[in-house]
Amino acid sequence: MTGRIRGFAVLPAVALAALLVAGCGQDDRGGASPGSTPSAPSVSDLAHLRQLVDDADSAAAAAESDAAADK
């Protein structure tokens, strides 16, 4: 059961990493354009990320509650 809780705890970090990777400015060759600056994430991207983190926090809290009830 502790592995499941750890999995839920890692979920926000994975979501953040995925958003950062998806937001990186890459050209057609797969590398960053020379001299280009990465753009800031949009408000909707940040709202979506916040929702993912909130959902992950809720899932982690539910998993911890279930684990405590199983003791």
Q: Read off the DSSP letter of residue 28.
A: T
45-66, pLDDT tens digit by residue?
A: 999 999 999 999 999 999 999 8
- In angstroms, the CA 45 to CA 8 distance is 21
Q: Where are the alpha helices (DSSP H) in the chain?
A: 2-23, 43-70
Q: Which residues contact 67 (CB under 8 A, 6 or more apart)?
A: 1, 2, 5
Residue whose token pair is 């979501």: 15
pTM: 0.45
4-47, pLDDT tens digit by residue?
A: 666 666 777 777 777 677 766 555 555 555 666 778 889 999 99
